[in-house]
Homo-oligomer: A and B are copies of this chain.
Amino acid sequence: MQLTLIKLGGSLITDKDKPFTAKKAVIARLAGEIKSALRGFRGKLVIGHGSGSFGHTVAAKYKTAGGISGKRGVKGLSLTAEAAVRINRIVAEQFLKKDLPVLSFAPLSMVTAEEGRVKTIFGEQLKLALKRNLLPVVYGDVILDEKRGCCIFSAEKILGIIARQLREKYAPIRMIHCGITDGVYDGRGETIGRLDEAGFDRLSKQIKGSRSVDVTGGMAHKVEECLEMARLGVRSWIINGTRRGDLRKAILGQSVRGTVI
């Protein structure tokens, strides 16, 4: 059976200029598009969302991406984790309003790292949730790291881990990234329709990073995660979540403006 992983970008669902402000209307609309797509869809979905101006604001203030150093570092970790759950609560609430059977899974509770790389991971709960037709939701979070104390773990990363965990059970697996641009732009600001490793090397200097505070590195990070997914046979679409209806079309496999990797 087919599995589709959907990433809702932090800058799509939160207001980058206002810390701790969610774009509830946008989240509600995206939930509605997912609900609508599910009527004619025979695969499974997993949602992942960024932390946007929630987690990133706190993480930047306390330099949480660098790990834990001293009591202030412990506090930063605690507050960043808190902020990540806070935006997740808002997303879950909007999805529940559309009667979507969401079940949020916390990366902090199920993944640990060592030097910023995944060390241990728990995935049994996710398999059971999909089997029972629930809609798992994960999110960008801070996770514990054996060496550094903690590290930032983006929604892309947790979705990537999930793709690996579920490769034996589901095929094909595809990933849809909903951001605020029409995919990846070239140096002239034009959408690149298709991108592979060689193309990315050529264009990497031209790709603009996200302008908002984003400790996970914006568009370049996203493309790198997509290229790694491509090596596993997972195809990714980077689309514009602000374009009404595009997420629904992308789930249903219809063509939309954006970049395929």
Contact = CB atoms under 8 A, between A and B. Distances in A.
A74 B38 CA distance: 16
A125 B143 contact: yes
A213 interface: no
Interface stretch (A129-137, A232-240, A252-260): A129-137
Contacts of A133: 74
B112 A110 contact: no
B103 A92 contact: no
Interface string A96-109: 10010111111011
Interface stretch (A13-21, A46-54, A82-90): A82-90
Contact of A125 (B110, B128, B132): B110
Interface of A: 68, 74-75, 77-79, 81-82, 85-86, 89, 92-93, 96, 99, 101-106, 108-112, 119-120, 122, 124-125, 128-129, 132-134, 143-146, 149-150
Nearest to A93: B82
A127 to B, nearest CB: 9
Contacts of A101: 74-75, 77-78
Given A109-B105, A110-B109, A134 B79 contact: no
The 10 A-B residue pairs with the shortest CB-CB distance, nearest first, are A122-B122, A109-B109, A128-B144, A106-B106, A105-B109, A78-B101, A120-B124, A106-B109, A74-B101, A112-B124
A144 B104 CA distance: 12
Contacts of A93: 82
A167 to B, nearest CB: 19
Interface centre among A75, A77, A108, A125 (most CB of B within 10 A): A125
A138 to B, nearest CB: 9
Given A78-B102, A105-B109, 15 more contacts: A74-B101, A74-B132, A74-B134, A78-B101, A82-B96, A86-B89, A103-B108, A104-B106, A109-B110, A109-B125, A110-B122, A112-B124, A120-B124, A124-B144, A132-B150
Contact of A77 (B82, B103, B124): B103
Interface centre among A78, A93, A105, A106 (most CB of B within 10 A): A78
A105 B108 contact: yes
Given A105-B109, A109-B105, A112-B125, A82 B92 contact: yes
